Amino acid sequence: MSGIAPKLPLSYSGTNGYTLLRNFTQTAKQNFKMLILTNPGERVMYPEYGVGITRFLFENFTSNTYARIDTRLREQVKLYMPYIQIQEVNFNGTDDSRNTLGVRIVYTIPQIGVRDLLEFTI
């Protein structure tokens, strides 16, 4: 079967081989998530690549921290994924669990007419 890119994390099926992403929407979403989760310095030949959101995990969740994450996110998308337009970024740091941060990002890809949502908790 054909595809655009391997789906991460890698999984192998004896029938079809590695699981593949089959459209540009899935590929863009996976690449966007990798940009957010990658720490600067982790990607070979691109020392500035990555938002490094996990570096913020044990900071106090204040409006200043959220603003720093938002700024870093928008700068990285503008530089490495200019086809994505961020519409909205929301953070959910709760008092119940001070060691987690929920992130909700609404984005569009105007060239292919896609509006999507990326949600995750770190």
CA distance 118 to 122: 13
Q: What are the CB-based long-range contacts (under 8 Å, 24+) for 62-65? A: none
Q: Is the pLDDT of residue 5 over 60?
A: yes
pLDDT digit string, tens, across residues 50-108: 999 988 887 888 889 899 999 999 999 999 999 999 999 999 865 556 678 889 999 99
Residue 105 confidence (pLDDT)? 97
Classified as helix, coil or strand, 110 is helix
The span from the CA of 22 to the CA of 104, in Å, is: 24
Per-residue confidence (pLDDT) for residue 39, from 0 to 100: 95
> pLDDT confidence of 37, banded at 50, 70, 90?
very high
29 pLDDT exceeds 90? yes
- Rounded to two decimals, the pTM is 0.87
Q: What is the pLDDT of residue 96?
A: 57
Lowest-confidence pick of 29-38, 45-54, 57-66: 57-66
- More confident call, 28 vs 94: 28
